[in-house]
Chain A
Amino acid sequence: MITLDHITKTYNKGQFTAVKDISFEVQPGELFGLIGPDGAGKTTLFRILTTLLLPDQGRAVVNNFDVVKDYAKIRSCVGYMPGRFSLYQDLTIEENLNFFATVFGTTIEENYDLVKDIYQQIEPFKDRRAGKLSGGMKQKLALCCALIHKPAVLFLDEPTTGVDVVSRKEFWDMLKRLKQEGITILVSTPYMDEANRCDRIALMQKGSILSIDTPDGIVKAFPEELYAVRSSQTHSLLREVRAYDGTDSCFAFGDSLHVTFKTGKSQDLLPYLKSKGQTDATIQPIEPGIEDCFIHLLKG
Chain B
Amino acid sequence: MKQLITFIRKEFLHVFRDRKTLLMLFGLPIAQIILFGFALSNEIKDSRIAIVDYSKDATTTQLISKIEASNYFDIQRTLATANDLNNAFKKGNIKMAIIFPANFGSDLTHTGNATLQVIADASDPNQATTITNYFNQIVADYNTSLAGSPSAAGTAGAATAQPMQIIPEMQMLYNPELRGAPNFVPGVMALVLMLVCTMMTSVSIVKEKELGTMEILLVSPFKPIYIIISKLAPNLIISIVNLFIILLLSYFFLDLPVKGSVLLLVTASTLFILTSLSIGLLLSINAKTQQAAMMGSLMGMMLPTMLLTGFLFPIENMPLPLQVFSNLVPSRWYFIIVKRVMLKGLGLTAVWKEILILSGMCLLLFAISLRKFKIRLQ
Q: CB of B219 within 8 A of chain A?
A: yes
A95 touches B215 (CB 8 A): no
Interface residues as binary, A53-92 with B (CB distance below 8 Å gives 1, 0 otherwise): 1100000000000000001100110101010111111110
How many residue pairs bridge A and B at CB < 8 Å? Answer: 76
Interface residues as binary, B200-225 with A (CB distance below 8 Å gives 1, 0 otherwise): 00000000000111011111111000
Q: CB of A105 within 8 A of chain B?
A: yes
- Given A90-B13, A105-B3, verify A75-B220 contact (CB < 8 Å): yes
Q: CB of B43 within 8 A of chain A?
A: no
A82 touches B216 (CB 8 A): yes
Complex CA distance for A262 and B17, rounded to whole angstroms: 65
Nearest-Cβ distance from residue A89 to partner chain B, whole angstroms: 7
B219 touches A86 (CB 8 A): no
B221 touches A104 (CB 8 A): yes
Q: CB of A47 within 8 A of chain B?
A: yes
Complex CA distance for A82 and B212, rounded to whole angstroms: 8
**B interface secondary structure, majority:** helix
- Given A50-B219, A95-B13, verify A102-B3 contact (CB < 8 Å): yes
A75 touches B219 (CB 8 A): yes
A102 touches B377 (CB 8 A): no
Complex CA distance for A173 and B10, rounded to whole angstroms: 32
Interface residues as binary, A92-110 with B (CB distance below 8 Å gives 1, 0 otherwise): 0001001110111100000
B377 touches A52 (CB 8 A): yes
B6 touches A103 (CB 8 A): yes
Complex CA distance for A52 and B3, rounded to whole angstroms: 21
Which residues 1-54 of B sit at the A interface, judged by CB distance below 8 A?
2-3, 6-7, 10, 13-14, 17-18
| Chain B residues, CB < 8 A from A85 | 212
Q: Which of B3, B211, B219, B221 contacts A89 (CB 8 A)?
A: B211
B219 touches A102 (CB 8 A): no
Complex CA distance for A234 and B3, rounded to whole angstroms: 60
A51 touches B6 (CB 8 A): no
Q: CB of B65 within 8 A of chain A?
A: no
Look across to chain A and name the residue whose beta carbon is closest to the beta carbon of B222. Answer: A103
Nearest-Cβ distance from residue B223 to partner chain A, whole angstroms: 9
| Chain B residues, CB < 8 A from A47 | 377
B10 touches A53 (CB 8 A): no
Q: Which residues of A contact B (CB under 8 A)?
A: 47, 50-54, 71-72, 75-76, 78, 80, 82, 84-91, 95, 98-100, 102-105, 145-146
State the 6 A-B residue pairs at the shortest beta-carbon distance, nearest first.
A86-B212, A76-B221, A102-B6, A80-B219, A84-B212, A90-B17
Inter-chain pairs besides A51-B219, A90-B17, A103-B220, 18 sampled, C-beta below 8 Å: A47-B377, A51-B376, A53-B377, A53-B378, A75-B219, A80-B219, A82-B215, A84-B212, A88-B10, A89-B211, A91-B10, A91-B13, A100-B220, A103-B6, A103-B7, A103-B217, A145-B216, A146-B216
